[in-house]
Amino acid sequence: PLVEASGMLKNALEGKYAVGQFNINNLEWTKSILLACEEVQSPVILGVSEGAGKYMGGYNTVVGMVKGLMEDLNITVPVAIHLDHGSFEGAKKAIAAGFTSVMFDGSHYDIEENLQKTREIVKIAHEKGISVEAEVGSIGGEEDGVIGKGEVADPQECLKLVECGIDFLAAGIGNIHGAYPENWEGLDLEVLAEIQKTVGEVPMVLHGGTGIPAEMVQDAIKLGISKVNVNTELQWAFAAEVRNYIESGKDKEGKGFDPRKILAKPAQAIIDGVKEKIEIFGSAHKA
């Protein structure tokens, strides 16, 4: 079923595993993620950045596509459609269009403005039973034009954000969107532990899931991370298979120009990539 995300994340926090947020870009991507999660019976959060939402036609298209796929493919696992790094206006639009979960990312505002805007989104979302993620301390790197400075979060500010009534918390702990540089020092697990101690039983979100060693992700899960966001890694896998198809000259043979043929292996790469992550996160058979 299509659900809000706080229930599945509370279960994850209790069960000491994490639910993957996999970002979607098009029909094939979405279908692959849903098929992979159904196969291993994992709950899932479909992440939609504002840029990807626009690319797919708009938020209504996204909601219609996901609902249609779930019905036609007989998807039975819990699925949330979640706005990723939403702006204040974007979050309101996603709620109106039928998203079941939204992230309001006010991490680039000063803390007071972040808190005030988060409170407002929580009020609108909760009236409709929609879950809310908010962020403090920014995630480094760039995602779809959203640029973060990569500041480690202050536990007291995390607590203030939680007190706004949010359902899950994204806190910068040295994580970065996209590839990690050679000299990356790893996640700041000490700060993560301190944040958890300060905020209590609130599911926490690890952004920038691409390229973090599996063991480090699992250590973070032990410290209260209940949702891990993955985007770039699946884009790499998809692009590598498209490149492989074109460069091997298959697009020139017979019906090789058929988009269904061009995208067959890339779509399979998404299925494989999602299943690999679920294995690390421990969310299989938790649907």
Packing angle of the helix pair 214-222, 189-199 (nearest 10 deg): 20
Distance CA 206, CA 92 (A): 23
Map the footprint of ligand G3H across residues 212-231, applying CB under 6 A.
Answer: 229-231
Binding of Zn ion by 227 (CB under 5 A): no
**Selection from 279, 283, 220, 270 nearest residue 242 by Cα:** 270
Instruction: Count interface residues toward ligand G3H (CB under 6 A).
Output: 16
The full DSSP string for 117-168 is: HHHHHHHHHHHTT-EEEEEESPPBEEETTEEE--PPPPHHHHHHHHTTT-SE
Binding of ligand G3H by 150 (CB under 6 A): no
Which listed residue (84, 105, 154, 188) is catalytic?
84
Map the footprint of ligand G3H across residues 62-101, applying CB under 6 A.
Answer: 84-85
Map the footprint of Zn ion across residues 188-207, applying CB under 5 A.
Answer: 207
Q: What are the phi and psi torsion angles at 196 (to 5°)? A: -60, -40
Instruction: Count interface residues toward Zn ion (CB under 5 A).
Output: 1
Environment class of residue 98 by beta-carbon count within 10 Å: exposed (0-12), middle (13-18) or buried (19+)?
middle
Annotated catalytic residue 188: no
CB 214 → Zn ion: shortest distance, Å?
19
**Cross-strand bridge partners of residue 102:** 83, 132
For 263, the token pair is 């995208």
The full DSSP string for 204-273 is: EEE---TT--HHHHHHHHHTTEEEEEE-HHHHHHHHHHHHHHHHTTGGGSTTTT-HHHHTHHHHHHHHHH
Quickly tell me which residue has 């998809």 as its tokens. Answer: 238
Q: What single-letter amino acid sits at 209?
A: G
Binding of ligand G3H by 20 (CB under 6 A): no
Nearer CB in complex with Zn ion: 31/207:
207
Among residues 174, 208, 266, 273, which is the contact residue for ligand G3H, using CB under 6 A? Answer: 208
172 makes contact, choosing from Zn ion, ligand G3H, none, with CB < 5 to 8 Å by partner type, with: none
Binding of ligand G3H by 207 (CB under 6 A): yes
**Selection from 9, 21, 1 nearest residue 167 by Cα:** 9
CB 137 → ligand G3H: shortest distance, Å?
14
230 makes contact, choosing from Zn ion, ligand G3H, none, with CB < 5 to 8 Å by partner type, with: ligand G3H
Nearer CB in complex with Zn ion: 224/241:
224
210 makes contact, choosing from ligand G3H, Zn ion, none, with CB < 5 to 8 Å by partner type, with: ligand G3H
11 makes contact, choosing from Zn ion, ligand G3H, none, with CB < 5 to 8 Å by partner type, with: none
Map the footprint of ligand G3H across residues 163-192, applying CB under 6 A.
Answer: 177-178
Instruction: Catalog residues that contact Zn ion under the rule CB under 5 A.
Output: 207
Q: Which residues are catalytic?
A: 84
Instruction: Catalog residues that contact ligand G3H under the rule CB under 6 A.
Output: 23, 47, 84-85, 143, 177-178, 207-210, 229-233
